[in-house]
Amino acid sequence: MPARPRLFLSITTSTLMLCQPLCAFQTTLSDTAVREAYFLGQRHDQKTSDFLKLYAHAFPLPEKGPYISEIHLLSPYAQVVSNSSQHSTGYSAQQAAADYRSRGDTLLVKVRIEFTPTYTYQDAVQAAADTGRDLHRHFYPEDFWQAFRFTLSQNGQSPEPRDVRSDPIYATSSPTGATSTLRGAVVWLEFDATAMESQPAQVEVITPAGQSVLAKFDLGKLG
């Protein structure tokens, strides 16, 4: 083979190999894919930010009700990038690989819920109390999100999450920072990624009042 065509073939093949993790949803990441995702996260630059934006939807403030401000859907590859981007020093490619193996192939849904003038702390307290009563459990105000419904669906199927957790959002309400007020929550839902296909999927959040917020993701175009 002449030198120039051989060089073109080599460049094309290398480009395809580098693009592979980013061109389609995949599970059982190779060591190479995990390493590429780790270094993409470690860049901490616009390229990292632009990549992670592909996995996020932001929404405008509603006229009334709670504010579903963001919905993220992170593939196994995107989770490696995201986790790496959260560490500036002391986090190695070997640790990223170990974290991936420990976590397994999961699809992570992240939903940010914020209070508004028409969905206040008192509304959240009432929602937590009502939901706790229905389930015969005691819920704290931080558990208000239990009154919301979260669904991941694809091809008419809605798998059950294998884990659900939340982080409360607090806002400082005094100049000294001594007092903080609950302002919302970030809800994390973890799904088995092997149950999903490289096709469009959607996440729907339904508020206690029946309002629906929908985010669509094309897993066929996401790494």
pLDDT number for residue 177: 61
Is the Cβ–Cβ distance between 8 and 16 less than 8 Å?
Answer: no
Asked if residue 38 is part of any domain, the answer here is yes
pLDDT number for residue 172: 76
Asked if residue 81 is part of any domain, the answer here is yes
**Which residues are within 8 A (CB) of 20 and not within 5 positions of it... i.e. 6 or more apart?**
33
Whole-angstrom distance, CA of residue 7 vs CA of residue 92: 33
Interval 117-167: pLDDT, tens: 999 999 999 999 999 999 999 999 999 999 999 999 999 999 999 999 999
Asked if residue 212 is part of any domain, the answer here is yes
Strand-strand pairing, 67-74 and 106-114: antiparallel
Greater confidence, 44 or 2? 44
pLDDT value at 23 more than 50: no
- Phi, psi torsion values for 27, nearest 5 degrees: -120, 175
Q: Which residue segment(s) compose the domain that 109 sits in?
A: 25-218
Asked if residue 209 is part of any domain, the answer here is yes
Asked if residue 57 is part of any domain, the answer here is yes
Whole-angstrom distance, CA of residue 140 vs CA of residue 147: 12
Least confident range from 11-25, 96-110, 188-202: namely 11-25
Q: Average of pLDDT values for 101-111?
A: 96
pLDDT value at 6 more than 80: no
Asked if residue 1 is part of any domain, the answer here is no
Asked if residue 59 is part of any domain, the answer here is yes
Domains contained in the chain, number: 1
Asked if residue 3 is part of any domain, the answer here is no
Confidence at 25, pLDDT banded by 50, 70, 90 = confident
Confidence at 14, pLDDT banded by 50, 70, 90 = very low
pLDDT number for residue 11: 36
pTM of the full predicted structure? 0.86
